[in-house]
A and B are shown apart, each in its own frame.
Chain A
């Protein structure tokens, strides 16, 4: 962590810093040498931090007004929407914030996949990241249950029932999760408790994620190791902060578009109907960000098999650094991987679409193909490419990229102002 020794100017600062080196930490964060060729795909880390803080702050305020009781939850949410000052704003930021959080995290993950940021020496950053992602899904799922609408209730019923697929103890596990013999008030109470807890677990993991990042430093679009600090790096502040802020403002404009002008478009109308255990909605659909995994779950005819495959789809992400052993990180210099990357993107989007479609006929068939391809990508294609792909020659530094045909270098260069010559 210590790039160079930081010595506070004031006496009081020195006194404090000798006992608790917070000022050194601040100096490290500010001076942190960052590759100067980072493009806008790298701004999503900052955006995600913003999303997490936004969710925590709005969530704490909502919890002051929300009542976690099966008979009162729906009404308390309506009270927030109607009678709490700016309650509608706080709740719409929170509910759309979840979607925005996932939008950003998916871009962040795919950026990592494209530029090989999960490879040595950054495996732990990646693994911590996947854990954050899994916790995010848990938090989002439980949050969606809290308004106690129809989709809350039936979503909770479907997802918790998955655990009944566990051999021998499945039924007992489900009863234990529910706190009773069906999804009911005890379930709502514990989901509220956990929904409040998980964001702080995420916050802790985010600290580790950033700590682990600051050991090797950022990957970059060229994907080569760079000397730090050097001509290839800029101090984090002000160069990266200003760029992150600009990107964040762009993101906030889109975010505001949803919050103020179509706050319910990402939700499901059925969740404005109070939960009713006696009436099953026509289609039980999770939130959009869980749909790819829902599609994988449903594409297996056997319940246990579906559950295993669904969790397998997450587990395969954790071991990704050891599946893709190609020494070249950035897809810019991997002509074949680049193609497969985009096919994989399409595959995941297709799974998302099919997760919302009815599980029958052509949809089910396509979902099965897409599921098989998902695993094929990680378990067969990536290891095979690691051996057979002929990668393009790498430049020696960011400042002097070798000219290996215009296409690659054009892609390696970021499109932002860093490379614009005045």
Chain B
């Protein structure tokens, strides 16, 4: 009887949590991809992350900042895992403002791995002004900042369509199937063969959308792989320990029961 109650209660709690989640994210059915990083043992694909970085660098980075990432992160374990030399070269290809020097002047120097990603605009207002009044959001935690996460980002990238007849769009606004109100101020950023992948992969729109979404997911959650690995170990350990404790408990309590 108790057991039933427990199950009932847990079920109701889970259902409530589920529905709350539903109520929060009342959005359309997103395109769903079988991401390599999903699931308990999910990991990133290095090649995909490296390509994703290339898409970010050559396409997104002209408008979107990524201020919480540093160039050194690109060579960290669990990420795109560029070599340290490659990360240094990437950093050095950017001009970073530093200072003040001993004369009190600001100066620019080539970037170092410890530098944060250089932002395309000096501040939010400049970014907003340059983009028709819509601030291109910082992409560091973008995947976590949208209900639906990676699937949402991927869906928006693939969701550009001709507007339905009668749908009114202002100037500089585009139709996107997955945006709130179907309106977005960013023109479709990806198209087939927009860039040339350095590893020779065919740069289809779909491929680029997948790669850059994986990259953004890593950027938002750089320790995802360590988290999955540690979690698996922790849970196995807890189950083993619980089993031992369970049998100890049975043995202890059997003293009480035999007295009866």
Chain A residues in contact with chain B, CB under 8 A?
A: 36, 39-41, 75, 78-79, 81-82, 88-89, 92, 103, 107, 110, 231, 234, 238-239, 242-243, 245-246, 249-250, 252-253, 256-257, 259-261, 263-266, 268-270, 272-273, 282-283, 285, 288, 291, 345-346, 349, 352-353, 356-357, 399, 410-411, 414-415, 417-422
Contact = CB atoms under 8 A, between A and B. Distances in A.
Given A260-B230, A269-B146, A272-B144, A249 B238 contact: yes
B168 interface: no
A418 B256 contact: yes
Given A249-B238, A269-B147, A414-B2, A345 B256 contact: no
A353 B14 CA distance: 12
A353 B23 contact: yes
A40 B145 contact: no
A256 B2 contact: no
A253 B239 contact: yes
B242 A253 contact: yes
A415 B230 CA distance: 34
A65 B17 CA distance: 31
21 contacts: A39-B2, A79-B68, A89-B227, A103-B13, A239-B253, A249-B245, A256-B234, A265-B21, A272-B144, A273-B137, A273-B145, A346-B12, A356-B19, A357-B23, A415-B2, A415-B3, A417-B250, A417-B253, A418-B253, A419-B257, A421-B257
Contacts, number: 135
Size range of the interface on B? 35 or more
A273 B147 CA distance: 12
Contacts of B222: 81-82
A265 B141 CA distance: 15
Interface of B: 1-3, 6, 9, 12-13, 16-17, 19-21, 23-25, 40, 68, 73, 137, 140-141, 144-147, 149, 180, 220, 222-223, 226-228, 230-232, 234-235, 238-239, 241-242, 245-246, 248-250, 252-254, 256-260
A245 B231 CA distance: 20
A92 B112 CA distance: 31
8 interchain residue pairs of minimum CB distance:
A260-B231, A272-B145, A249-B242, A415-B2, A272-B144, A356-B20, A356-B23, A78-B68
